[in-house]
Structure 1
Amino acid sequence: MRKLVAGLLAGASMLIAAPAQGAPIRPTDPAFAGQWGVTRTGVDQAWSSTRGSSRVIVAVVDTGVSRLPDLAGRLLPGRDFANHDDDPSDDNGHGTMAATVIAASGNNRTGIAGICWYCRILPVKVLNAKGGGSYTDIALGIRYAADRGASVISLSLGGSDDSPLLSDAVAYAEGKGALVVAAAGNRGAATPHYPAAIPSVLAVGGVTPSGSRYDWSNHGPWVDVTAPGCNPAQGPTGLVAPYCGTSSATPFVAGVAGLLAATDPAPSAARIRAALVGTRSLPSGRIDVPAALRALPVDGDVTRPAVAFGAVGALVRGRVTITAAASDQHGVSRVQLYAGGRLVATDTTAPYSFAWQSAPDTATVQLELRAYDRRGNLTVVRRSVRADNAAPAVRLAKSGRTVTARATDASGVTRLELVVDGRVTVRRAGSVSRFAVPARARSVQVRAYDRAGNLRVANGKLAG
């Protein structure tokens, strides 16, 4: 039986903007400032751990996908079931917008930043230029995507009637290891929408920046998760425009599923689904991407965390604050700082920061960061610094009303100051200087500073 079905085109006419939030990863894409969904769901935090993988294929079963620079090298050959040929080009725009939400290249100063930067897109055209199609073609498209190794199948489409064609196609895809993600629909109703309402499909509703349901988003207990319902996206010409509706929320979730699929060990579709559903924010049901990553099983994880020192000078003194950046696909359990082979401190939460008392040492010290992930994988990075907690040595000589100061220090002397009656009267760079002393001076001091900031004061009584 063939049944006509309308593609879910944009369900709202404008993009709802929200104030930008501080983000761990902020890409250079010019339209990123409008991607409020990325920060609301923690995608920007997840990017510090994973940005996808070319081994992950996300199928866009829609109106086709046009070739764009932001998808260059990652758009696979596909199929057009609407016109029965091998050219899945987009003659509507809907599918291309979905594809860019999923996988537009990030941090390339072009367009938007997709959710899964390195995932590949499989274009499967099942809807015509007007956004219409049949259950038969959709079912064929789902099977085609599964046969070509899609880890995730994104369906921004649907109809009001259930169908054995769709159920069988979904079951076939799941048997091949694919996660099927589908739009809940844009009528603001609780009536089930298909294929989203098929129990094993991940049904996606749309929410606002505050996490409340858009009034046009379908809802009900059959809706599994929600996601940002308005996202900037690129059409067939590459132009960025608002893309709203559960059609937009669905590829957002499909891109997140791609990020999760790119982790090590590769999780099953069931694991990804459980992670997304089990960590959603209640009562809105909005996905929480960092929490979903942490919910994935870590047994078999052999990928070590990434860790790096923050800004720290090569020369230090006294109490020093050492910062570290650490990330892991499944979460960092702890970061430790060692100095000279001895444990200084352990930090279990980001941002990672340590207070190290370098005094009284004056020597080269090897600092070491040890980062452990939840599986126990360890990464070690080292950096040598010179601890200088010794003040310069200063010798003074007086000849009449002239004082000559000579300072020495292993780290180097930066400046000398002449202090007359408690006031600094002369400052000079270097380690040797001759100062003229006023005739009525009651007290004279010379201050010497080394490169670490240590100070030595030579005063008083000078040999004539």
Structure 2
Amino acid sequence: MRVLLGLLLAFVPAAPAHADNVEPDHVARAAAIRPDDPGYAGQWGIVRTRVNEAWSSGRGNARVTIAVVDTGVSRLPDLAPRMLPGHDFVNDDDDPTDDNGHGTMAAGVAAASGYNHTGIAGACWYCRILPVKVLDAKGAGSYSDIAEGIRYAADRGATIINLSLAGVDDSQQLRDAVAYADEKGSLVIAAAGNEGASRPDYPAAIPSVLAVGAVDEHDARYSWSNYGAGWVDVTAPGCNPAQQVNGVIGQFCGTSSAAPLVAGIAGLLASTDPVPTIAEVRRALVGGRVDALRSLAALPYAGDTVKPTVAFGATPSPARGVVTVSAAAADQHGIARVQLYAGGRLVGSDAAAPYTFRWPSTTGTVALDLRAYDRAGNVTQIRRYVRADNTAPALRVYPRASSVTARATDASGIARLELVADGKVAARYNGYLRWFGIPAHARTVQVRAYDRAGNVRVATVRR
């Protein structure tokens, strides 16, 4: 008997959003990556699940393939460079072009290229995409085609198999196909369904399938999302911007949208070293609303030899007084601690972002070293030379009856000279040498010299 599946889809065209064209911000309080893709400004789900923070330590790997078993996938510029040859089980040919739009949007949420001025930023930028068409132009398909599509993806080495589709009936045919994919080492992820019911939908309710429900920006379940602690394994943002087959960006809502976001995060996890097993990836994802950083930290890290990344934040030079030094650090399995050394001496150690240190600066050129340690003990050290100046400038004054000439010198350079009459600034000059006229009837007169580090020297001219 042929069983048809309802497609889980809501697509509302929207005016293109615009993000600032900026480079990744590597200071400690802004370590998350902000891509320049036009649709990124509306991708609250990426931020909510901390995928943008996980990008600091990895954005996927070409060894990981995400199979999109759906209505097909069109070769949009955001997807085409990483698309593998696929198959159409509806028309029995090798052209899995999308004639509906649903599969293309699912593929984009999972794996659209990021930071390329195009479309949106998918979760896994460098994962490959395997298009498998099992649903027709109306979004319906038979269990037999879906089962064949799952087996096809598994045979071609798909690491992740995304199924943004659901039916109300259980099926041994689907169970056998999922078991086959399990044996081949594929993680099958499926949408829980959009009836707002606790009744299980399939294939999501098959025990080894990772079933995904949908939540809003406050982590509350969308009223239309299916639910059930006994069979829904994880939730994810259920409304995500995506490109249709014509390239238009709009809201793609449903558990059909939540599932590929989890698939993309699974791709990030599978891209780490040492390579985790599919069972380890699944365990890291399960529970509550998906969180990319939490899931990365849950992976085993024994055997990890990949060093973390670390960068200085804004550090004043010349430095003066007690200076706040910030840092950003990232690692595929998490940062254990970051340390700051000044002139070879430990200033401080910080185990949680944002990484900040208070350094009592001295005078002269000082080597500042940042050391970042990951959970496996790998360490990365970087150095920055900072000139410290805590010495006031030299100042000479040449007073006359109604004027004064001031000359200041300092290794850091002079920022400005000020004439102060009766406690108020009467004149200011940005330079090191200046003649000032003294205001009539001024009783107290001083000259102040400021160096570029902010140190000040005061000379009294008249009392």
TM-score exceeds 0.5: yes
CA distance in 2, matches of 1:8, 1:320: 58
Q: How big is the shift at 1:46?
A: 1.9
Distance 1:212 1:402, change over 3 A: closer
Shift in CA distance, 404/217, structure 1 to aligned 2, threshold 3 Å: closer
AA aligned to 2:43 is Q
Alignment of 1:63-462 (within 5 A): 63-220=71-228, 221-277=230-286, 280-281=287-288, 286-358=289-361, 361-399=362-400, 401-437=402-438, 440-460=441-461
Once the two structures are overlaid, the 10-residue window that deviates more, 136-145 or 414-423, is 414-423
- The separation in 1 between residues aligned to 2:397 and 2:11, in whole angstroms, is 81
User: Residues 114 and 122 of structure 2 are in contact (CA less than 8 Å); yes or no, is this contact kept in structure 1?
Assistant: yes
- Amino acid aligned to 1:231: N
The CA RMSD over aligned residues, in Å, is 2.3
1:225-267 CA distance string (max 9 Å, x none): 1222222221111112222222222111111111111112121
- C-alpha distance in structure 2 between counterparts of 1:376 and 1:189, whole Å: 47
| Structure 1 residues not aligned, in runs of 5+ | none
8 Å CA contact 1:46, 1:289 repeated in 2: yes
Question: In 1, Cα distance between the equivalents of 2:31 and 2:41?
Answer: 11
Taking the aligned partners of 1:206 and 1:401, their CA distance within structure 2 comes to 79
Alpha-carbon distance in structure 2 between the residues aligned to 1:111 and 1:29: 6
1:9 alignment partner AA: L
Q: Is the 8 A contact 1:105 1:114 kept in 2?
A: yes
One-letter amino acid of the structure 1 residue matched with residue 243 of structure 2: Q
1:273 alignment partner, SS class: helix
Structure 1 residue aligned with 2:25? none
CA distance in structure 2 between the aligned counterparts of 1:408 and 1:210, rounded to whole angstroms: 58
Q: Which amino acid aligns with 2:265?
A: V
The secondary structure found in structure 2 opposite 1:407 is: strand
Change (3 A) 1:421 1:224: closer
1:4 aligns with 2:3: yes
- Measured after TM superposition, the shift of residue 460 of structure 1 is 4.3
Q: Quickly say closer, same or farther: Cα 1:432–1:211, change in 2 above 3 A.
A: closer
1: CA distance, partners of 2:58 / 2:191: 25
Whole-angstrom CA distance in 2 between matches of 1:50 and 1:332 = 14
How many pairs are equivalent? Answer: 448
Aligned AA for 2:456? L
Moved more, 43-52 or 430-439: 430-439
CA distance in 1, matches of 2:129, 2:285: 21
Which amino acid in the other structure matches residue 232 of structure 2?
A: V
Question: Residues 158 and 74 from structure 1, CA distance in 2 versus in 1: closer, same or farther, beyond 3 angstroms?
Answer: same
Quick one: distance in 2 between partners of 1:416 and 1:226?
A: 62
Contact 1:12 1:245 in 2 (8 A): no
Distance 1:161 1:461 in 2: 96
TM (norm. structure 1) is 0.90
Q: Residues of 1 paired with 2:424 and 2:227: CA distance?
A: 76
* SS of residue matched to 1:129: coil
Amino acid at match of 1:369: L
Alignment of 1:1-40 (within 5 A): 3-10=2-9, 24-40=32-48
User: Shift of residue 353 of structure 1?
Assistant: 1.1
Normalized against structure 2, the TM-score is what?
Answer: 0.90
Q: Aligned residue for 2:23? A: none
From the superposition, tell whether residues 130 and 454 of structure 1 become closer, same or farther in structure 2 (CA, over 3 Å): same
Rounded to whole Å, the distance in 2 between the matches of 1:208 and 1:217 is: 10
Answer with 36-45 or 395-404: which moved more: 395-404
Aligned 8 A contact 2:395 2:409 in 1: yes
Output the CA distance in 2 between the equivalents of 1:114 and 1:362: 48
CA shift for structure 1 position 79: 1.0
Q: CA deviation at 1:310?
A: 0.8
Q: Secondary structure at the residue paired with 1:248?
A: helix
Matched, 1:42 2:50: yes
Deviation of 1:85 (Å): 1.0
What SS class does the counterpart of residue 395 from structure 2 fall into? Answer: strand
Instruction: Measure the CA separation in 2 of the matches of 1:151 and 1:421.
Output: 77
**Secondary structure of the corresponding residue to residue 60 of structure 2:** coil
Deviation at 1:38, TM superposition (A): 1.9
Deviates more, 1:216-225 or 1:340-349: 216-225
Q: Unpaired runs of 5+ in structure 2?
A: 20-29
Displacement after TM superposition at 1:366 (Å): 0.8
CA distance in 2, matches of 1:305, 1:241: 36
Query: Alpha-carbon deviations, 1:84-103, whole Å to 9, x = none?
Result: 11111111111111111111
Change (3 A) 1:190 1:440: closer
SS in 1 for 2:81: coil
Pair 1:131–1:401, CA change in 2 (3 A): closer
Check the 8 A contact 1:8/1:185 in 2, yes or no.
no
Q: Secondary structure at the residue paired with 1:26? A: coil
SS in 1 for 2:129: strand
Distance verdict in 2 for CA 1:411–1:137, change over 3 Å: same
